[in-house]
Chain A
Amino acid sequence: MAQAPSAQQRDLEPQVHAVLERRARRKQFPAYRSRTDAEVEAALNSFLAEVSPGARASGLARMGGGASKEQFVFAIEGNDGRAERHVLRMEPTQSISESDRRREFEILKAFQGIVPAPSPVWLDAEGAHLGQPSAIMKFVSGTTKPRDTGAGVSGLGTTIGGDLRIAIASQFIDHLVSIHAFDWRKAELPSFTAPNADPWQAARWQVNWWSQVWREDRVQSIPVVALAERWMRANLPTCDDHVLVHGDYRTGNYLFDEDAKRITAILDWELCHIGDPHEDLAWALLRLFGTIDGDRHLASGLFTREEFLTRYEAASGRIVNRKTLRFYEVFATYKCIVITVATGLRSAADQHNHQDILLTWLSAVGHIFLSEICDLMGEDL
């Protein structure tokens, strides 16, 4: 019998607590049925009639992939007769990682002009109009992998070579540094709270968030996952340099123009929060998000580990604390295990997602993360 969480274990960012509460309510929902393109387009036009009279969506088509949100591209014709493409991001009943469209919308708005990011246009935070919580952004062109890369999950084993790698690597660092340099204290971010109760709260909030999700979603427990939680609680790092953490910063989560060798948009801001900058570094360093080049592992397919850290330090002026980084590497791997092995399988078992078959397929990758977390903790214990 699992123990009830202690008061320390229930300490969460209030808005994340609300997301998890909403998630708990939605777990009671019946099986999720994905709507047809025609149904979505009709709902979208009814929404647009209210928020932007005269605007009309056409040519709606579902975008591929996306185990987290349902995504559709469509065009809106302006008064000048020019059609502008947009993207609708809509939540299924349960996503592989639960998040809040309002937070995503706020953060995208805040980052316009700071780093390339989709421009948010309309929000239906509770799904009052579109049936499911949704946000609409302007379409950004670009690709997540070079033309000569085969099919597969974006960001897993993506090889970026030659001059393209040099160009993208510099921008990858620069944009991360800009995100971490963003002055969130002066920004309009009412849906975000900074961890300020004590120096451990940034790390504790993350461990509490994802361990709660683990406990609610796991279809079977795994001893090493419980050990990882015990290890993290015993090794929480302090943080006195809170930044805006992207939360999913890696190759596969940005679009680039291969010919211009330019990142056109940083994507997937949904897990953004105020926290420790080491968290984004550790995420980008995850082995599975990298590639092997000869006998070298390239973080996010772009840099060796030391090159990435050294360049980040030089560009940001921060010193990377290797012990804190190790904590966040364990945490990042833990989070990936929770997403793939727990929430992915639970969503499929409950029929609460539009991609059950993808989620059960993807969960096999969790065993690679389990090997990795053993290696990471084994070096420390």
Chain B
Amino acid sequence: MMPSIDLRLASMIRSVQEVILPALSGHSGLAQEQAHLLLGQLMVLRSQVDGALAFERIEATSLADLASELARTAKGGGKTEAAAAALAALLKGATGEHPAEVRQFLQACSLAVEALIGASGEDGSEAFQAASAEAILRHGRQAALRNRRWFSATNFEAPEVRLPPLDPLAGD
């Protein structure tokens, strides 16, 4: 790809840094604030662009694993059983290859998981409620850590926080 995405992002960063921000000096606070945010967003995007699809695929695989476990182990009344069946049916499809397909899968699967968790709160068996809580928390901890690492360039983490590298966070 010529010009590469990296080069185009780099040139945008330079433009904001060296031309746009100095030109805004002394002008609207909101415009300056947003130009700084634009610069930050471009820098983070540049650090993420090469791994973005791989990251979303990891997210999709991780969610699909949790969803399979929940669909397989769900026990309870009619609402829980129906939600588990809907989730199982959705999982028969692929997680997708193209970025848009992967995102579509993440949306549909996460909603079906949400519906099963909600239904199990109404008529799920006690055993499933306990087991699902454990599985969801395990997935949640790993997913949150993975995303914190992925977005660490935003600098929201406290200085003393040490996040593990991304590779070991790939699976659950």
Interface residues of chain A, those whose CB is within 8 Å of chain B, are 1-3, 6, 34, 37, 61-65, 156-157, 219-227, 229-231, 233-234, 291-292, 354-355, 357-358, 360-361, 364-365, 367-368, 370-371, 373-374, 377-378, 381
Contact = CB atoms under 8 A, between A and B. Distances in A.
Interface in B123-158: 129-130, 132-134, 136-137, 139-141, 143-145, 147-148, 151, 154, 156-158
Given A2-B115, A64-B30, A227-B133, A365 B140 contact: no
Interface stretch (B4-12, B17-25, B33-41, B92-100): B33-41
B144 A370 contact: yes
A220 B148 contact: no
A368 B156 contact: yes
Nearest to A380: B133
A230 to B, nearest CB: 4
A221 B38 CA distance: 27
Q: Contact residue range for chain B?
A: 35 or more
Contacts, number: 129
B160 A378 contact: no
A108 to B, nearest CB: 25
B118 interface: yes
Contact of A227 (B117, B151, B158): B117
A230 B116 CA distance: 11
B133 A1 contact: no
Interface string B92-126: 00000000000000110011111101111110000
Given A61-B29, A367-B151, A368-B144, 20 more contacts: A1-B86, A1-B112, A63-B29, A64-B30, A65-B33, A157-B158, A221-B107, A221-B113, A222-B140, A223-B110, A223-B139, A224-B137, A224-B139, A226-B114, A226-B136, A233-B121, A355-B34, A361-B41, A374-B140, A374-B141
A150 B86 CA distance: 50
Given A233-B121, A357-B34, A367 B133 contact: no
Provide the main secondary structure of the chain B interface: helix
A57 to B, nearest CB: 18
Interface string B61-78: 001001000000000000
Given A2-B114, A62-B29, A223 B151 contact: no
17 contacts: A1-B112, A62-B28, A64-B30, A219-B107, A221-B110, A221-B114, A223-B63, A223-B139, A223-B140, A226-B118, A227-B133, A234-B121, A354-B30, A361-B40, A370-B144, A371-B144, A381-B137
Given A62-B30, A227-B136, A365 B117 contact: no
B46 interface: no
Nearest to B120: A230
A72 B114 CA distance: 41
Nearest to B154: A364
Nearest to B35: A357
B148 A367 contact: yes
Contact of B137 (A3, A229, A377): A377
A6 B111 CA distance: 18
8 closest A-B pairs by beta carbon, nearest first, are A224-B140, A221-B110, A230-B121, A364-B151, A226-B117, A370-B144, A367-B147, A371-B144
Contacts of A370: 140, 143-144, 147
Contacts of B136: 223-224, 226-227
Contacts of B119: 3
Given A64-B30, A370-B140, A374-B140, A156 B156 contact: yes
A2 B118 contact: yes
Most buried by A among B34, B40, B86: B34
Interface string B155-169: 011101000000000
Most buried by B among A34, A62, A223, A231: A223
Contact of A371 (B40, B132, B148): B148
B154 A361 contact: yes
